[in-house]
Structure 1
Amino acid sequence: MTTPQHHGVSRRSFLKLSGLTALSVGGMTFLTACGPAAQDSGSAATTSAATGTASAAGATLGDGKTLRVGMEAAYAPYNWQVSEESEYTIPIENVSGAYADGYDVQAAKVIAKALGMEPVAVKSDFGALIDALNNGQIDIVCAGMSVTDERKQSADFSDSYIDDDIVMVTKKGSKFASATTFADLKGASVMGQADTMYDDVIAQIPDVNHMTPGKTVPTVVESLSSGTSDVITYSMLSVPKLLESYPDFVELQMTDKFEGSVMPDNAAIAKGQDEVLKKINEAIATISDDERQQMWNECMDRQPA
């Protein structure tokens, strides 16, 4: 997933490298490797000839009734597949008897309501979503996707409906617990996750012991719990759940911030539909920061282990 155009690594790519999906360790649900789409999903489903072009009214997608939402449905907590319907789910159009849940699904439901449409998920490989959008197989992408310069050439992107970032965590009572600047961390042993921005950003902190990264998020967390590391880098959105499970951990209240670490989640539609995009952005703006965090926490609780 890519950060905005001024950031080089996409959030999607970043999470695929670190591979974030759900993994339970010691009662704590972690983000870890994103699995492939289910075998019966294939690429995006072939649908009617509706192309997603705006109607004469200027603010309608597809047939104006059913909002076909492209996603992997295999990328918790952003989106995943379940076999039972609930208040949180939408049907997966191209997988019989299946439903989609996750943060992207909740955002898609808000957008669909604003457009006066009923949302259904269309399960697809992540790399095929923009093509599916432009081929008229789906009407919108809500899939943990971030806007990039390259993607902007092929689709129009909404405002972000959630933004993750990288924060740091230590133990209560640690000599680094009161750190507010990078300089305050001098001499600390800092660990992040291998092959991700969580490890890369540590290079921005001078005079620390940049430890060999952990292969998984649970490995990184265990290093702090056991005292192997003094400080770890972690997902800002996931910190509240981490602190619930590890009450001896504390988030550092830093005034120094990492550069290039913000990871937005944007919806995408076919280009040239300005009135639709305006409506989508108006819908996204109705979701307050507190509601976004609550939605995220609830998805973290529901996501598959």
Structure 2
Amino acid sequence: MKATPTHVYVSERVSRRDFLKLSSLVAGMGGVMVLSGCGPAAQDATTDDAAAADDAADTAEATLGDGTTLRVGMEAAYAPYNWQVSEESEYTIPIENVSGAYADGYDVQVAKMIAEALGMEPVAVKLDFTGLIDALNNGQIDIVCAGMSVDPDRAQSADFSDSYIDDDIVMITTQDSPYAGATTFADLAGASVMGQAATMYDTVIDQIPDINHMTPGETVPIVVESLASGTSDVITYSMLSVPKLLETYPNFVELEMEDKFEGSVMPDNAAIAKGQETVLEQINEVINAIPEDERQQMWNDCMDRQPA
């Protein structure tokens, strides 16, 4: 887990505007004593102008986009993080660039919380995953909530929030499998292991020596079916999604491994354009206020609602 940053609330800062107001009050009191017989002192237009400018700067600093509509970039095709539906519900937000469509998913629920805290109305903008950071920086969207993890390359192009959920990769087998008691990678020698194509669920398998690294399945259901049918001995799977998997397949078990995959933790971070530190602090306050049990429950609920 990442260290929780020290947060500074906008309301707790002593701004230049407040300082000028206090200074004006003190100066005005002195003027009353000196000019008590000369009528009211003239208003300091320069001070008022500076305070107004500071007010505008504070507002701009704490606002995303137009301050009214929060445009949330996502694929709307990556369940349970985000997906597209045709009917509105309490869980959805409209997809701005797809007529009559709505977005649901874990990212959507967090985006709604962030929008509420910022006093904005969220809408999804459906984009290809690889184009999300560019869309953020060219102003097409205001924030990315898309199952995206911060990495060094992305961090050069955008500012990332604290993680709002952390997934990891675990391994699943069947109760009657000869590998059901495996606790180390060495115990899996000879096993046929499958993961999902074009994801870390496939690439981490190379860390296990002496196994049959099977051709990956194109989708998660294909990977799961390979284990259910006996085509594979072991599959890699989302740690967060295991409880629902075991409900559906009671004969499946999660391997309690002492050996862990390297670099397999997958945080889910929101991203905004650089230079908006106050907004990032507000977003982190929202994220860090979500209890761990609520995060897991939201995930479980999304697993229940996601399309088959």
Structure 1 length-normalised TM: 0.75
Tell me, in whole angstroms, the C-alpha distance in 2 between the residues paired with 1:216 and 1:279: 36
**2:58 maps to what in 1?**
56
Q: Alpha-carbon deviations, 1:91-146, whole Å to 9, x = none?
A: 22333333221111101011112222221222333333222222222211112222
Tell me how far 1:252 sits from its aligned partner.
Answer: 0.8
Please say if 1:258 is aligned against 2:257.
no
Distance 1:257 1:94 in 2: 41
2:223, 2:269 → 1: CA distance? 28
Does the C-alpha gap of structure 1 residues 192 and 96 become closer, same or farther in structure 2, counting only changes over 3 Å? closer
Structure-1 separation of matches of 2:132 and 2:115:
18
Partner of 1:103: 106
Structure 1, residues 246-266: CA drift from partner, whole Å, max 9, x if none?
Answer: 100100111211012122221
Question: CA distance change for structure 1 residues 179 and 88 in 2, over 3 Å: closer, same or farther?
Answer: same
Q: Tell me the SS of whatever aligns to 1:261.
A: coil
Match of 2:291 in 1: 288
Q: TM-score by structure 2 length?
A: 0.75
Deviation at 1:174, TM superposition (A): 2.8
Establish whether residue 86 from structure 1 lines up as the match of residue 115 from structure 2: no
Higher CA-based Rg: 2
Secondary structure, counterpart of 1:137 in structure 2: coil
Aligned equivalents of 1:175, 1:271: Cα separation in 2: 51
* 1:147 partnered with 2:146: no
Q: Using the TM superposition, name which of 250-259 and 139-148 deviates more.
A: 139-148
* 1:159-238 correspondence to structure 2 within 5 Å: 159-238=162-241
2:63 and 2:282 mapped to 1: Cα distance? 10
Measure the CA separation in 2 of the matches of 1:195 and 1:94: 27
| 2:20 paired residue number | none
What amino acid does structure 1 have at the position aligned with 2:213? H
What is the root-mean-square deviation of aligned Cα atoms in Å? 2.2
Give the count of matched residue pairs: 253
Greater relative contact order (CA < 8 Å, ≥ 6 in sequence): 1
Write the deviation string for residues 151-181 of structure 1: whole angstroms up to 9, x where unpaired. Answer: 2222111111122221101111333222222
The corresponding residue for 1:276 is 279
Sort the Cα spacing of 1:296 and 1:200 in 2 relative to 1 into closer, same or farther, 3 A: same
Say which SS state the counterpart of residue 56 (structure 1) adopts.
helix
TM-superposed CA distance for 1:304, in Å, is 2.4
| Residue 248 (structure 2) aligns with | 245
- Give the Cα–Cα distance (whole angstroms) in 1 for the partners of residues 221 and 85 of structure 2: 25
Deviation at 1:215, TM superposition (A): 4.2
CA, structure 1 residues 63+212, in 2 after alignment: closer, same or farther (shift >3 Å)?
A: closer
Q: Does 1:138 align with 2:141?
A: yes
Q: CA deviation at 1:195?
A: 4.0
| Distance in structure 2 (CA, Å) of the matches to 1:151 and 1:212 | 29
Match of 1:299 in 2: 302
Aligned pair partner of 1:118 in 118, 121, 124 = 121
Mean CA deviation greater in 143-152 or 262-271: 143-152
Q: Give the AA of the match of 2:96.
A: E
The percent identity for this pair of structures is 82
TM-superposed CA distance for 1:55, in Å, is: 5.0
Q: Take 1:224 and 1:270, find their aligned partners in 2: how far apart are those partners?
A: 42
Q: What is the DSSP-based 3-state SS (H/G/I as helix, E as strand, rest coil) of the residue aligned with 2:58?
A: coil
Task: For structure 2, list consecutive stretches of 5 or more residues without a partner in the other structure.
Answer: 3-55
Match of 1:75 among 74, 78, 102: 78
Equivalent position SS for 1:144: coil
Letter in 2 for 1:122: V
The structure carrying a bigger helix percent of its residues is 2
For the Cα contact (< 8 Å) 1:55–1:61, is it kept in 2? Answer: no
